[in-house]
Structure 1
Amino acid sequence: MDNSTSWDALYKKLEAAEKRIAEQSAIVAAAEKLVRCKGRYHSELNYRALAKLFGVVTPDLPPLEHENVHYADAAEVEITALRQRIAELEARKVNLSKLSVGEVMYVSGFSRDYAEGWCAGNDNAIHEIRTAGIKVKGG
């Protein structure tokens, strides 16, 4: 065996050894994760760790709780903002003037029948708005 052949053989053995070391390191890392897995997600975490080790995609599994934390935080912030907006809207008052028939006749220039119909409609609107829990200013 000449010198170049022996170096090639040694180099191939070195590459093979490095590959085995890399594979063993991945297995050791996965084993360490499995050992550290505790709690109710023990078997699911084991499954995930093994799937990750072997490059298997696991779309059948829901995300882990800690993966959804930022979604829950964002939802809580949005819920708080919406509650605040609801409180602001509930605190507001609708400005709906209650005019007499004579005032409506004067402002519009229309007949008494028109003014009475307008006032009745206005009274109904005020009643329905209050029934919905909205405060009416001027009514």
Structure 2
Amino acid sequence: MVNFNYETAFELSNESAYEKWISTIILSENKKEGELNYIFCDDDYLHNINVEYLNHDTLTDIISFDYTVGNELNGDVFISVERVRDNATDFNVPFSEELLRVMAHGILHYCGYKDKTEADADLMRKKEEEKIKLFHVEL
């Protein structure tokens, strides 16, 4: 079950399309869907979480808390809409594409993909691109 929560003045235009896409990502990785919560917020909200729970005094676009059990993906994915907007501008991509990238990124972490080394980050980027394409197919 995928839930969307809003802690800022932002809302997905078609939640069911995003929900279906996330389910497709999970199935494409041979995983099972548990309870996944996406929480869309602003920089301040996510910064507070970063400081309190991770002891990082920096801005970030996403923080995911993984509660996966075996093959069933469960977790909370916090996304700063402000940071996604800024990153979209910095990377010269549409906001909608950068949002998909970040949303997929959280799920990919739950699937076991990492991004701390250059090789892992390269694989993560390839997987993000692959999963973004699934969204366009689903619409």
TM-score range, shorter chain: under 0.3
Structure with the bigger percentage of helix: 1
Structure with the bigger percentage of strand: 2
Structure with higher RCO (Cα < 8 A, 6+ apart): 2
TM-score normalised by the chain length of structure 2: 0.21
TM-score normalised by the chain length of structure 1: 0.21
